Structure 1
Amino acid sequence: MGILNFFSSKDPEDYEKKGDGLFEAGAYGKAIAEYERALERLEKTSPWDDDYQQNLREKISCCQEQLALEHENTARELMEAGHNDDARQYIELALELTRDDQLITQLEQYLKQLDTGRLEAIQTTLPNFDTPDQEKQQEEMPEVQTPGAEQDDEHFTALIGTLPEDIQATYRNYPVVFKTGYLALNRGDFEQAAEDLSQALDEHDDPQSYIPLELATACLNLTRYDEACRHAETFLQHHPDALPGYQLLCDIYWETREFERAEALLVSLPEELAESVAGYLLRGETLYQAGKFADAKAFYRDFSKKYEWNESIARALAKAHEALGERTNARYIYGEIMNQCLSCHSRVDPFLKQKYADLSFESGLKTTEVLELYLSLAQEVPQNAADYYQKISRIYNAQGNETEAERFQAISEKYEARQ
């Protein structure tokens, strides 16, 4: 279905039907969003239909209970694995959703098993600075590994597991050297990847092959742009409806700053791809890569006015605002995306948290909300903990809490010394 048809006005029944399908598929968070859209639409078109409104509210409640049970199960598994901070987030989400007294009691019991304070929890996760050789000793311990061939097979299966099933089967039937090249490509060994994939292409002489797509990717990363372009174009000749081919060729044109060629390529997109969100993102990103930030912003804003909210478009719009120095607008959009995640009762991407927190911090908004985001990020992205704790220190200092400011400055310095 084309995007223009997809985003046309819908009746409440249309949203409800989509919600029912999502419920049956176990996608309870998305189902809630569809039922809420149905309810909102109904309140505008038939506000007198109390029975239908009640039916939708009951469906929303049912989804919320099912989603709460999922979060409870996830939290329990995370606690058993020792990931207490992640578990706490799922417990809090479940508590927001459920009205079941028994489940509430169980969730509250879980919270009692976790550290009672956020700051205390952070204290317990700090490295033992009095034993500086501890990490070194752990690094020197030999790791138990499965035999090379078996490990490669497992890794290859995991990597192609994200592809459509027919393409997975195709990849498995390629020469063995394709597998070694594909593994090299995904671990960043592009020289080896290009060598193995070139050999695989020679051994497997099939015009419909996907090998040129992977070989083009390796060549792109080696800055062998002409070769990359040739393989990508060969792939598209035989797969004119394959989005990855257009994405890769756009990447090549962006790197070589041939933006007119990118625009010409996107004009030639098949209608279905041209009307897809991915097609819009490629056109917008071409404007962005060309330094036409204002045009990119206008392009994304026009999309947002015409169609339903889309996270990928919202992220791209926020990036354009940032490039133009419009930090307030960018921060607002990142906050909106975070709220959308919470409304669907899903975890918030740490990238979004950092963008929102950093833009707030740089704008002088040294609030408790920003402080708590950095506390969360210190657990989720520990390699950047020194920076996060240093900013927490500065926030406490701005709030007049010198004791906590000094404490977190000391923590930051200790983390910095460990790196």
Structure 2
Amino acid sequence: MTATVEAPAGMDLLRFATAGSVDDGKSTLIGRLLYDTKTIFEDQLEAVEQVSKARGDEYTNLALLTDGLRAEREQGITIDVAYRYFATPRRKFIIADTPGHIQYTRNMVTGASTADLALILVDARKGLVEQSRRHAFLCSLLRVPHLVLCVNKMDLVDYDQAVFDRIADEFTSFAAKLDAPDLTVIPISALKGDNIVSRSENMPWYQGPSLLHHLEHVHFASDRNLVDVRFPVQYVIRPQSSQHPDYRGYAGQVASGVLKPGDEVMVLPSGLTTKITAIDGPAGPVDEAFPPMSVTLRLADEIDIARGDLICRPNNAPEVAQNVEALICWMDESRPMRVGGKYAIKHTTRGVRAVVRGLNYRLDINSLHRDESATELKLNEIGRVKLRTTVPLLADEYRRNRTTGGFIVIDETTNRTVGAGMIIEAS
């Protein structure tokens, strides 16, 4: 078995995160996808076969392809977010394999924050458990636009349609309470390969697509915000070469919207307007730029622009705000977040300092209950927080723009990332 599939350049790249309770088979599922799409090497397969034999497994344990940490292999659990890449002739994929344990909620938030699709696994024998609902809620909170529920281990319930229908109905009614715009439910067996790459003969009653077919065909290009132009400036390029003595470009990644030469744009926070004269990509000039392209903009006027500034449309600008309300997932096990705490905020390419002005409530992600008496956020807890920043943020609501609506919280004394935030309101 060799890695033989090569995706043509310029193909779609779908990022998806896997989530589920412990032992639901996430790592096995990813191993099966890598194995069946021929994207693992012979030596990798041999190593997995050897470890499987040493552990006394009666089969080649494909989960070992993704559980890369020694502690994960020894304990049989997933701890860290493991990123895996594979490709088919139709599309490229990046998988974020996130842990199932409740104490690793922060890792799940990290993995799902950039995902186009979330794949939630449940064990057909157990049905929906608390973790299934928690992960679905977190995915809706993080605005992941597509949800796939995989009812795994169907081989252990004799491929019974009634079992699948009961779980599918229960999850569908729960998802109706969430902001889950697109939901697909697929019965699978990751261990046996049923409905993973091709339709299973063991479940003739299931008329939907296989998992890989769905991943290859799910339409996600329209999920990107192409209306609000947002271009955070990452770097100012001035080569000072004899060939280009007057070159001045502003490099960054398009967060949203479409940019073309000739467009009138505004620079924030100065509010000055100018026009785009050219857009340079890695291989030369391009006719337009859209997310998630990394490009360099050249402008008609010499405006004082620095890293952290943002280029947008004159009549469509983000909020320039120092008072921000956000949902924050706390990620620091050593110190909780308290009112009055001072932190550094990394928002797009801009770094500012902030103080916590208030904690409106702490959210119980199991019951969705709001605890308004809470005074702090501990590890893995989520709450609605009021922040006051020293310098204005150029921000949108997270539900409108995941890039300009998201930020990370940094402890200035240790330089550690201690929280991730989603802006609800900026003023």
Greater per-residue helix proportion? 1
TM over 0.5: no
The TM-score, its normalising length taken from structure 1, stands at 0.20
The TM-score, its normalising length taken from structure 2, stands at 0.20
Relative contact order: is structure 1 or structure 2 higher (C-alpha 8 Å, sep ≥ 6)? Answer: 2
Greater per-residue strand proportion? 2
Larger Rg: 1
